[in-house]
Amino acid sequence: MKTSKSATRPPGDVFIACRRTIDDWRAFQATLVPGGDAALWERAFKDYFQARLFSRYLDPLRVLQKNGAKRGEGFSIVAIQCSLIEFLESTIQGKSYRLLRKGAPRLGQYEYSNSSDMFLTFLLNRTPFNGEFTPVTARDFYEGVRCGLLHEARTKNGWTVLAKNKTGQIIDKKLKIVYRDNFQSALLAFVRWYEGRLMSDIGLQEAFIRKFDSLCL
């Protein structure tokens, strides 16, 4: 969700990445060329993607981790992590969510209405998550953890949340445990991977522009 300095400010003054606004992005976007200057793409990553990610998700998660007493805050942590996954995958694909109502126009090329597809694609294809999730486990995780937490403030299907383990596992498939601190480390590893690829991958760059353009609508 966008945040604004004031309810009376014009739409272009709405924040989309820390202190950067819609107008800031539109001016900067005009300088971005897929396949162009890597220095500009490094700035795009840091000033927009990373700034949005850390200010709205990863820094708050770190506060919860640092100040938690292991008395249930893991539910809040994993709920935020699960909401972040859809943003990450939709940024990779350069797509935007649209609720498909009866009688509404068909989805455009870069629109989607099925969150589960986006979520499962991330778990099964993005490093380091793809090393631990199978199609069956990913679907069960989506239904029992993501949907359970976001819709009912609980885990379902036997899933539990623990802080971490010594092996670095993200999940224990057999015992159906999600290790929320290890999950956080995995998300940070993905962000580092994405930064490296964004500097030279034209497809990711085109998708990045589409995604941030859509955040300004």
3-state secondary structure labels for all residues of the chain = CCEECCCCCCHHHEEEECCEEHHHHHHHHCCCCCCCCHHHHHHHHHHHHHHHHHHHHHHHHHHHHHHCCCCCHHHHHHHHHHHHHHHHHHHHHCCEECCCCCCCCCCCCCEECCHHHHHHHHHHHCCCHHHCCCHHHHHHHHHHHHHHHHHHCCCCCCCEEECCCCCCCCEECCCCEEEHHHHHHHHHHHHHHHHHHHCCCHHHHHHHHHHHHHCCC
Structure confidence at residue 170 (pLDDT) = 97
- Cβ-Cβ contacts under 8 Å for 124 (sequence gap 6 or more): 130, 133, 134, 135, 138
pLDDT of residue 6: 46
**What pLDDT, in 10s, does the model give residues 39-96?**
999 999 999 999 999 999 999 999 998 887 788 899 999 999 999 999 999 999 999 9
100-136 per-position pLDDT tens digit: 999 999 999 999 999 999 999 999 999 999 999 999 9
Tell me the pLDDT band of 36, cut-offs 50, 70 and 90.
very high
Phi, psi of 4, deg, nearest 5: -125, 150
| Cα–Cα distance measured from residue 91 to residue 72, given in angstroms and rounded to the nearest whole number | 30
